[in-house]
């Protein structure tokens, strides 16, 4: 039986993604782990699905900061990259992490 974290992501995938994504895949801020009681600071590491309806796979699950995750929400990546948030933070197809660039559509 495959063990899943509370977001339904297999622990084996979680471990690989945590090792890979030390910085937000979008804005590149260094990610930090906070306990639930500390609120949601902008550099808090969160789970993100590049394609919202995609699988819990190593190529679709990434780590990003709370600020980018809240801004992206359920938007398609291509739509979100056109947002004022991304323009303000200089986030574009060229600046996002390679794992995200590979999924860009």
- The domain spans of the chain are 11-101
Q: For position 93, what pLDDT does the model report?
A: 95
Backbone angles phi, psi at 53, to 5 degrees: -95, 10
Beta bridge partners of 49: 61
Distance CA 10, CA 96 (A): 24
What is the mean predicted confidence (pLDDT) over 5-9? 86
Residue 92 pLDDT greater than 80, yes or no: yes
Pick the residue with more confidence: 83 or 37?
A: 83
Q: Please determine, for residue 11, whether its predicted confidence score (pLDDT) is greater than 70.
A: yes
pLDDT for the residue numbered 43: 84
Secondary structure class of 98 (helix, strand, coil):
helix
Closest-CA residue to 27 (of 103, 91, 102): 91
pLDDT digits 0-9 by tens, 18-76: 999 999 999 999 998 876 656 667 888 999 998 888 899 999 999 999 999 999 999 98
Cα-Cα-Cα-Cα dihedral sign, residues 84, 86, 89, 93: negative
**Integer angstrom CA distances of residue 61 from 38, 39, 45, 87, 90:** 24, 23, 13, 23, 22
What does the pLDDT read at residue 63? Answer: 96
pLDDT > 80? residue 91: yes
Q: What is the pLDDT of residue 83?
A: 97
């Amino acid at each position: 039986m495959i063990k899943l974290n509370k977001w339904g992501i297999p622990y084996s995938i979680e471990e690989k993604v945590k090792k890979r994504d030390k910085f937000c895949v979008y804005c590149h801020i260094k990610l930090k782990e906070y306990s639930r009681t500390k609120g949601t600071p902008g550099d808090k590491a969160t789970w993100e699905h590049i394609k919202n309806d995609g699988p819990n796979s190593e190529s679709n699950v990434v780590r990003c900061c709370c600020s980018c995750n809240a801004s992206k929400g359920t938007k398609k990546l291509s739509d979100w990259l056109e947002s004022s948030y991304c323009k303000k933070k200089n986030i574009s197809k060229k600046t996002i992490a390679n794992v995200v660039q590979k999924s860009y559509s």
